[in-house]
Chain A
Amino acid sequence: MNTVNRKTTVNGERSTVNGKSILALLVAILPTALPPSRLTAQSTAIAITGGTIYPVSGPRIPNGTVLIQDGRISAVGTTVTIPAGATRVDAAGKWITPGFIHANASAGLGVAGLNGQQEGGVQGEINPSFNPAEGVDPAAIGIPIVRTGGVTGGVLLPGGQFFPGQAPAVNFAGDRVDDMLVRRNAAMFLDLSDNSRAAGGGSRAGTMARIRRLFDDALEYSRRKADFQRAAIQPLSAPAKELEALLPMLRGEVPLAISASRRIDIENALRLRREYRLRVVLMNGVEGWQVAKDIAAAGVPVVLEPNRDIPSFDGLGARLDNATVLREAGVDVVIAQGDPGGERNLRYAAGNAVRNGMSWDDALKAVTMLPASVFGFTGYGTIEPGKVANVVIWSGDPFEFSTVAEKVYIKGQEQPLRTRETELRDKYRTLPPPP
């Protein structure tokens, strides 16, 4: 492994002594078997042995075993009993982590990521009922490529301005969309950035007024559906199906993911949260460092791209240590990336967050456990008994360029890592290419 900074080399050895982590330690070290009935299908058991496990929910476990049965993790630790007939995978010298979850993904929305071929958005400003799930192509050539970066799940963002729609949470494996879906409506999206000024008539203040009217109308609609049917209600600011689609979010069942980069946009997002008692997730949060304490006090997580440092009028205060400052203030930071190399590079975004001052453990959490909990990947994001077996075996530190994802499991199934790119490479390895 290359020279890395000390934060990395001490990863996992820095034990936080509190009740929570000791509990996590016990859970991690003591093999916890599922009920015997779940152990009968032993033909599907996979035992990954000898590697260093990074469960995320607790300290790392050197020379540990991860036992996978029926698509779930059934045991984790150093004294796991491996059932007879289990497939053994020797992971000596390897690093084992949960599959990474990409919080602003688009792989699968269209067969290719080409301009003009995306399926992630529809025209118009008020589309809360739009969900791009049915635009997901499980055969998309980008999906196997994403997996090569150890990314097993993603939140597929709807595209467009203002209220572009709902985001499905998916696994990046499956023959049908229904196999891929983890949660159909993982979040509702609202864009408060410069892009949405037009929706408010040209001013952010106008945008806020329009949002409040929409929310108030949706709430009124839900209280007075009978009046609405009889047309005995003032005209509403959006069609009923769009107002209806806002209700799960307004009831707090679905988070409202708000793209807000300028400090004023972040403050407005927190204002909406207070006024309507919403579950809010901040997206981008470029100037979040300026109001880190307020964000922390509100308990609002932030999804950000750790390399955003170029000033724009959507965030003149962009800086590389935004994630670090937010984390130090106690904010849950989810790492996403806008790297042109594609979603497979989420791991490098995490590495860059460490480069910019975040701790390695926080960075790992920010691409596994946190996106899972923020976006409703229930049962995902850590390596613990009972969790869905989305697991990656890495040749080394997953954030490093020298490392490769050697094996990727999604719901306990080892995934092919051959891509269109590797096939092209092999075709042109010698020139001219063989016929």
Chain B
Amino acid sequence: MTRWWSPAGLAVLASACAGAGAQSSPAAQPAPAAAPASTDTTSVDRPQYVSTYRRRANPPVLIRNATVLTAAGQEISNASVLFRDGKIVAVGANLTAPSDAMIVDGSGKFVTPGIIDTHSHLGVYAAPGTQAESDGNEATNPVTAEVWAEHSIWPQDPQIPLAVAGGVTVMQVLPGSANLIGGRSATVRLVPARTVQEMKFPGAPYGVKFACGENPKRVYQNRGPSTRMGNMAGYRAAFIQAEQYRQRWDKWLKDRKGDAPGRDLRTETLAGVLRGEISVQNHCYRADEMAQMLDLAKEFGFKIRSFHHGIEAYKVADLLAANGTAASIWSDWGGFKMEAFDPILENAALVTKAGARAVIHTDSPDGIQRMNQDMAKAYYAGVRAGIPLTRDQGIKWITANPAWVLGLDAWTGTLEAGKMADVVLWSGDPFSVYSKAEKVWNEGWLVFDRLDPTHQYKTDFNIGQAAPGVGR
């Protein structure tokens, strides 16, 4: 089986998709030319909503004399970071700048990898927050695996540049949590764009949003599911269908004999889960429900990549570690509903201690602007409780670990030679409330500079809204 998260597998998958017509195929980088549409081919043979993102050409950058948190095990003082052509060249002392390099003095400043949010609704619940732009929940059926978040994302959401100013370079945009299976996620770079295709992270595997517990049974209480056992039955029914669908399609893709089976988008996504091509991103608060979902995954032979909002992850951190499932969580958000009744500040620390991957996520257009702060809250809570933690582990919660959840860990999430140049320069220690992202490079492109208004982009929605002649 193609393991979707291995970098080699990604390449295989991407090329295999173009040929064999697997339905989850994002374009590898550079994007392959679209298969020619001819009467001999059908929709499954053609690339699906291909990324048109292109790395910008930029001069090399050398950041000098900074404290570098690599998220790869190290915190290095008085260090330099050199990147060029969108890739990190070196991290360490005594690096020499190429003659054409932009030199950045990092004295007193800190450098981290670009921040990655595994759980965002930017673009699908865009500001200014009207019903007209409420595009996150296709709440018309408990299973809507057929919808794709990228078909809702509004690239002009003014919340996107606010997140960029917080040091975020990549996010997974998810459908909402009304449904058992809410649809496919989109992994995008936070860059100025006219279309979502211009933001889509090339080669990033798709995820699919699951939601346990209160939301689906509340939303569908009149038609079902209306109970947690109804939720589980809904998942099982959907995957029983997906098993049959996958068998039909895999056989046909191998033999190409006779007519192609009918294409059904809903089941196609779930078959992608069964093939290991699409990762499961599972909104699930309670420990006992996480255990049920892990058993569901075993019943049908797939993996749950990450639980989201796992407020009770600390209660089953051992189970998460054994199953290789990450916990995307907040530091201290909780208490707002019954399934969120047991939050503790040390959740991320205890998950880490148990050997599972902890991730700080936001689900919030406010939170995504200050992910370093949520990380710092969780980090210090753990340290105060005597749980052994390093600062590097804390930084991993918002960089390397979310990169793994999104299947991007071979490419980004750490500051190591060869990784993509997703880099943030902080005005001070990112563990401090007073520090701000000062410069943000997205694959080497300076998308934000706090000191230079020409590098602070605005979406179209922001244009023409400053009140004239008033204020400062």
Which A residues contact B (CB, under 8 angstroms)? 2-5, 8, 112-115, 142, 263, 287, 289-292, 307, 309-313, 316-317, 325, 340-342, 344-345, 348, 351-352, 354-355, 399-402, 404, 421-422, 424-425, 428-429, 431-433
Contacts and interface: CB of A to CB of B under 8 A. Distances in A.
B357 interface: no
Given A290-B471, A351-B433, A432-B318, A114 B341 contact: yes
B338 A312 contact: no
What are the 4 tightest A-B residue pairs by CB atom distance, in nearest-first order? A351-B433, A341-B332, A2-B432, A401-B376
A312 B133 CA distance: 12
Contact of A340 (B130, B333, B432, B433): B333
Nearest to B432: A2
A400 B130 CA distance: 35
A401 B341 CA distance: 23
A274 B465 CA distance: 29
B215 to A, nearest CB: 12
B350 to A, nearest CB: 7
Interface in B139-197: 158-159, 162
Contact of B433 (A113, A341, A401, A422): A401
Size class of the contact patch on chain B: 35 or more
B167 to A, nearest CB: 13
Contact of A342 (B332, B341, B467): B332
Interface in B22-68: none
Contacts of B15: none
A351 B434 contact: yes
B119 interface: no
Interface in B356-409: 364-367, 369-370, 373, 376-377, 379-380, 384-385
A429 B354 CA distance: 10
Given A2-B428, A311-B462, A421-B344, A399 B471 contact: no
Contacts of A307: 366, 369-370
A344 B354 CA distance: 28
B337 interface: yes
Nearest to B214: A115
B343 A421 contact: yes
B434 A8 contact: yes
A422 B367 CA distance: 24
Contact of A114 (B130, B314, B337, B354): B337
A112 B340 CA distance: 11
B317 A400 contact: no
Interface in B421-447: 427-429, 431-436
A426 to B, nearest CB: 9
A317 B332 contact: no
B124 to A, nearest CB: 15
Interface of B: 108, 110, 127-130, 158-159, 162, 314-318, 330-333, 335-338, 341-346, 350, 354, 364-367, 369-370, 373, 376-377, 379-380, 384-385, 427-429, 431-436, 461-462, 465-467, 470-472
Contacts of A344: 332
A312 B346 CA distance: 34
B272 to A, nearest CB: 33
Nearest to A148: B345
B128 A4 contact: no
B108 A3 contact: yes
A399 B344 CA distance: 20
A399 to B, nearest CB: 6
B370 A290 contact: no
A428 B380 CA distance: 18
24 contacts: A3-B428, A3-B435, A114-B337, A290-B471, A292-B471, A310-B127, A310-B365, A311-B462, A312-B129, A340-B332, A340-B367, A341-B332, A342-B335, A344-B332, A345-B332, A399-B434, A400-B433, A401-B380, A402-B431, A421-B344, A424-B342, A425-B344, A428-B314, A428-B344
A256 B376 CA distance: 38
B332 A355 contact: no
Contacts of A355: 433-436
A345 B317 CA distance: 26
Contacts of B315: 428, 431, 433
A250 to B, nearest CB: 31
A69 B102 CA distance: 62
A114 B336 CA distance: 4
A113 to B, nearest CB: 5
A74 B110 CA distance: 45
B433 A399 contact: yes
B427 A263 contact: no
A431 B159 CA distance: 40
Given A307-B370, A313-B128, A425-B344, A115 B336 contact: yes
Contacts of A342: 332, 335
Nearest to A395: B384
Contacts of A4: 428, 432, 434
A248 B433 CA distance: 41
Nearest to A307: B366
Nearest to B466: A317
A355 B472 CA distance: 19
Given A287-B467, A325-B471, A354-B434, A425 B385 contact: yes
A312 B332 CA distance: 26
Given A3-B432, A310-B162, A342-B332, A431 B128 contact: no
Given A3-B435, A289-B472, A307-B370, A341 B333 contact: yes
B324 to A, nearest CB: 17
A341 B346 CA distance: 13
Most buried by B among A112, A307, A309, A354: A309
Given A2-B432, A8-B434, A402-B432, 19 more contacts: A2-B431, A3-B108, A3-B428, A4-B432, A114-B335, A114-B341, A291-B470, A310-B159, A311-B127, A311-B465, A312-B127, A313-B129, A340-B336, A340-B367, A355-B436, A401-B379, A401-B432, A425-B346, A432-B318
A408 to B, nearest CB: 16
Contacts of A292: 471
A267 to B, nearest CB: 11
A422 B350 CA distance: 13
A348 B129 contact: no
